[in-house]
Structure 1
């Protein structure tokens, strides 16, 4: 009984276990344990015949096929098609282009393929599984091609985010933050005119998906650095909603998305134009958006305030674990209030000044962890 339990314990992501019943051992065990069962409990026995897995696999494949048929994808044509690799790739690209026509279709396909692939692997090495090898391998390959359209997450970035959340107060000697710039998309390096021309070619949905996923990745990285960029998020989400509902065709949405990417590219460079660092720009934007319309002189004064405030806080106030200490938090807030009160232009009314103090403090609390660590230092 212990052997059966250990091999078949429940675990996240585990589809099933397998009991090989030699000479009726499991039947005898069931019989022995039946005296402890509560009569008429109505609880379904957890152990099923392996044939049930095959039935589940057949049902999952049927659903995946039906989804493909509904999107005009002929799986059998691909399976029985040309043996030449370039022709096979073309057929698969055609299928992917149809499957990513909208986000709901793409997500549903990936869900169905994930289920069928999990069941297929669970059935192996049963000889009956090989009857479904071609279709399962094809579905899995199509799903992988769809996933490849989305920029991959960088594990170093993920681990850094985990460290931020845990806020571990450890002085790690020799710890080096890896340069993540190779995984950051610089929109200014893109040839937007070429993108517009290339879109007139085949597989428009694939090109749309690539651009959408790239822009989404860049947009949310930019939003993380500067929360005042929510207007860009609203524009992007509206475009994707129009795409998914079909209220605009793919040609119009793609043109809009290229224009949007150009606007994001300009936003990426704005800190240089304003003669500020990215983190100084975030504070500057908090101080002027959305309420203030300033002349050039006052605008330059607010830039000076943003630089001075960050320099003072980082040099004197943002000590190790400052967010955990009430006195340190109060000291940071007092420094913000005092500097803004003394240095902001007189056009800032009392209620706006109060609002800006609160927003700047929240920004500092969210993004600066103390002892030289911040969202901006980790981003490289």
Structure 2
């Protein structure tokens, strides 16, 4: 894919605004479009000043250099962070490894450049690991963090070998606040773009507020446009699974059967992927058993993670 594109990196690139001129440290172009913006500071300088003193100024004085931007990298050599042109400082993140084997560069900047700017990686990030989200105050652009990129890549790789894995895609761990719903978006959207099939994603949680929060994140990124994608009852869940939906959101409590009855099969499709959130909690009770017994309600689906 990268062979069909032209990559060019300009150093000390002068940009003229309506009133001011500014010289950017590094601007990376793909087919003449300024995709990459890198601000460098001396090793003894606090990295945050690259944001507060430089990037903030560029947004005011030469905003057009960022109109088509995909990645913003800030670095003083030993510390490097990546984000988007709309990211606040606290949302810029480290990129801790170059590849899934854990390779690191000699310094942080090498890890960042090789981990995000290698041509194939950069194009993959642009196509599959960026999303716009409506938030209070306007539209922001989210860029995958290191753990999201490699976690999604591993899960998608597992999908290609799903039969021998007996439907198990693995476990994708997140710490609180690390963007698990956004990881779900990256995962599902890349599958829809890259893997043939009439895929349906069933997102399972164990709390109503969490179900609503995840649904809103999908809706606020434009990924989900249906208002009826949230199952309101066990019967509604069965109805949704019998129809053609890209996304279905449900509480685990909707996997109910009558007293003493085995849970009925809800779908025989093999192109359903079940994503269970907060898998360490309620997956140990009766409702979880309804999802993992021999009478699994979607016996040919794939699961991330596998209910335990």
**Shorter-chain TM-score: which interval?**
0.3 to 0.5
Task: Give the number of the structure with larger relative contact order, counting CA–CA contacts within 8 Å between residues 6 or more apart.
Answer: 1
- TM-score, normalised on structure 2? 0.33
Larger Rg: 1
- TM-score, normalised on structure 1? 0.28
Question: Larger strand proportion, structure 1 or 2?
Answer: 2
Question: Larger helix proportion, structure 1 or 2?
Answer: 1
